[in-house]
Amino acid sequence: MTWLRGLRARLVITFVLVGGLSAVGAAGLTYYKAQDNLLAGVQNRLLKDFKNRVLLLSRDVALPAGDAELALLAEDLEVGDREVYVVRDGAIPSDARITAELRARVLRRPELAWQRVARDGVPYLVGGSRVMLLAGGTPSGITVYLVESLAQAASDEAAVLRAAQAAALPSVLLAVLAGLLAARGVLRPVADLDLAARRLGEGRLETRLPVRGGDELARLAGRFNETAAALERSVGELREMETRSRRFVADVSHELRTPLAAATAVTDVLEAGADRLDADAGTAARLVTAEIARLTKLVDDLMEISRFDAGAAVLNLNDVDVGAAVAACLRSRGWSSGVTTDLPPDIRVPLDPRRLDVIVANLVGNALRHGAPPVTVRVRATGQAVAIEVADQGPGLPADVLPHVFERFYKADAARARSEGSGLGLAIARENALLHGGDLTVAPGPGAVFTLTLPGNRPS
């Protein structure tokens, strides 16, 4: 029941509990007061009437009174459904509703004593008093008892209870409605904040919240807007810095191409004559040639990556036999004999042959340099895509290296910092894969397993 964990449900439940408890408490208090007032009113009226009638009618009784006089007095005191018993002091009336406790209280004091009893579910008011002589307030030797039904008062009391219960239900329903309205009002800014945070997380940094009022939620919306504005400024500055940095790299790379071309021509001449030089000069000539070649490769890679950054990379698509293209890449570099291949014929997809050559050459070259034989290249069709897998049997890549292998200038082994690689090869390979609408991934083997996935149809 995850819905109970939501703020809306908790607010509604809180309102229902508060409203329900308030309604039940009010209904209970109303019932208690009504019951007390209703019974007290009926009881006081009955007892007062009985007391007055006893005082009035007992004056005409001759003392000592015989049984006939007592029966006549009882008959005169009976009104409506009231039952009256007139006995001599100490005598026990025949009605079981007149309890021994009440009789004892009547004999102990001259005032009217009473109690409420119930028989067969019917409530009764039972009272009793000794008749006192007017002269001196001495006992006359006569005791009178009344028994009167409180059934009508009990019925009125039950009606009050039903009315209180009926009034409690609308109160609970009103509490539910109030809870829903309050939850809606409270949660609307929270929902707006959630939506705005989601949009901000999606990169829509211009997202802002309307600020209404001056309560806590309004202040929270204001803080969100301030944070979003600061984030937008920071990201804008970072993007501007990145743009300037990329432009600088592209400009430097472009400016280096001309002097590097001249330097390459010179080093080619030096390398051609290195064998005719003395040992030290020949070694220096070969070293300079290798470093110029490495620098030229680095500049070419920087130029290539800058085209991706600028969105200027263009696909020149042709209908290509993937297996034949991979075989041509290996053959042109003299790798055919050192690589095991599985290249089914007639797997054709629209792609840029030059960019495919760059990807395959980079993956196979890395496997040959840093892995261990045998290096295997497989091409297979998988549904609507074509996969090219390059695997070696070397030590593989550590788990902490795998997430970073496609980052620019990243090298898993710091000891290889001066190898012939530029540190951009895998980054360029993955950019080429993405440009085709595909992807380039790596997984542990044994060894390292790189998989290039290309869509079977032309990317949009």
- pLDDT (tens digit, 9 = 90+) per residue, 398-438? 888 888 888 887 776 554 444 555 678 898 899 999 999 99
Tokens of 296: 């030229």
pLDDT at 416: 46
Q: How far apart are CA 107 and CA 455, in angstroms?
A: 111
**pLDDT in the model for residue 114:** 82
Low-confidence ranges of the chain (pLDDT < 50): 3, 415-418, 459-460
Question: What's the predicted TM-score (pTM) here?
Answer: 0.49
CA distance 431 to 375: 23
* Cα–Cα distance for residue pair 64/80, rounded to 1 Å: 29
State the pLDDT at residue 12. Answer: 67
Strand 139-149 relative to strand 83-88, pairing = antiparallel
| CATH code, residues 318-455 | 3.30.565.10
Confidence at residue 434, expressed as pLDDT on a 0 to 100 scale: 92
Q: What is the 3-state secondary structure (H, E, C) of the chain?
A: CHHHHCHHHHHHHHHHHHHHHHHHHHHHHHHHHHHHHHHHHHHHHHHHHHHHHHHHHHHHCCCCCCHHHHHHHHHHHCCCCCEEEEEECCCCCCCCCCCHHHHHHHHHCCCCEEEEEEECCEEEEEEEEEEECCCCCCEEEEEEEEEEECHHHHHHHHHHHHHHHHHHHHHHHHHHHHHHHHHHHHHHHHHHHHHHHHHHHCCCCCCCCCCCCCCHHHHHHHHHHHHHHHHHHHHHHHHHHHHHHHHHHHHHHHHHHHHHHHHHHHHHHHHHCHHHCCHHHHHHHHHHHHHHHHHHHHHHHHHHHHHHHHCCCCCCCEEEEHHHHHHHHHHHCCCHHHEEEECCCCCEEEECHHHHHHHHHHHHHHHHHHCCCCEEEEEEEECCEEEEEEECCCCCCCCCCHHHCCCCCCCCCHHHCCCCCCCCHHHHHHHHHHHCCCEEEEEECCCEEEEEEEECCCCC
Distance between CA atoms of residues 374 and 45, nearest Å: 114
Which residue, chain included where needed, has tokens 């070649």?
293
CA gap 350, 58 in Å, rounded: 126
Instruction: Please tell me the class of the 2-159 domain.
Output: alpha beta
User: What are the residue boundaries of the structural domains of the chain, listed by start?
Assistant: 2-159, 217-310, 318-455
CB atoms within 10 A of CB 121: 7
CATH architecture of 217-310: Orthogonal Bundle (1.10)
Q: What pLDDT does 440 receive?
A: 95
Alpha carbon 270 to its chain's center:
70
Q: Count other C-beta atoms under 10 Å from residue 115's C-beta.
A: 15
Query: What pLDDT score does 339 carry?
Result: 93
Q: Are 360 and 339 in contact (CB under 8 A)?
A: no
